[in-house]
Amino acid sequence: MNELTILYDANCEFCRRVAAWLGREPAYLRLRFVAQQSEQAERLFPGVLDPRAPVELVVVSDEGGVYRDTNAYLMCLYALRRYRSWSFRLASPALKPLARNAFEMLSRHRAGLAFLAPATWRDEDWVTQLTRHRPMRCVPAGSPEGDVPGPAVLG
């Protein structure tokens, strides 16, 4: 496999931003981006896209493999140098259902997610924003860190 064609929703700001991000990332495979709404998509892959179905991410390999839903997202990660190992982890039987839920949530709410950050943000801006807040973690009761105000413990 040398190339993946990523059929994305060109009418969705979030999808366009993700496609642009994928295009900037170092990759093991050539990535070609084609808007699902284009004549090029139907010409290249007749019958792959169902115009009556909701628009979803579809990835097609140069070997003829067609990936939809969770597998399409995993193939995008698989193509990237920094995220290939994550594609293997998330494809494992234990994590694939979790990955599926996360990808479905992203897909279902993609219109609203497009407005989380200005279009001018670079990857470094996202990292800065995401690392500003300390992650929540569990600490044993009575430990020195246990006195820090945090979420209530159910039990």
Query: DSSP letters along 35-51, please?
Result: ETTSHHHHHHSTTTS-T
In a domain, 152, yes or no: no
In a domain, 9, yes or no: yes
Name the residue range of residue 92's domain: 3-131
In a domain, 146, yes or no: no
How confident is the model at residue 129, as a pLDDT?
56
In a domain, 52, yes or no: yes
How confident is the model at residue 148, as a pLDDT?
46
In a domain, 14, yes or no: yes
In a domain, 140, yes or no: no
Total number of domains in the chain: 1
Write the pLDDT tens digit of every residue in 84-94.
Answer: 999 999 999 99
**pLDDT under 70 in the chain at which residues?**
110-155
* Number of C-beta neighbours around residue 144 at 10 A: 7
Write the pLDDT tens digit of every residue in 18-28.
Answer: 898 899 999 99
Furthest-apart CA pair in the chain: how many Å? 65
- Cα separation values, 19 from 13, 35, 139, 143, Å: 10, 10, 39, 45
In a domain, 12, yes or no: yes
The pTM of the full predicted model, rounded to 2 decimals, is 0.70
In a domain, 136, yes or no: no
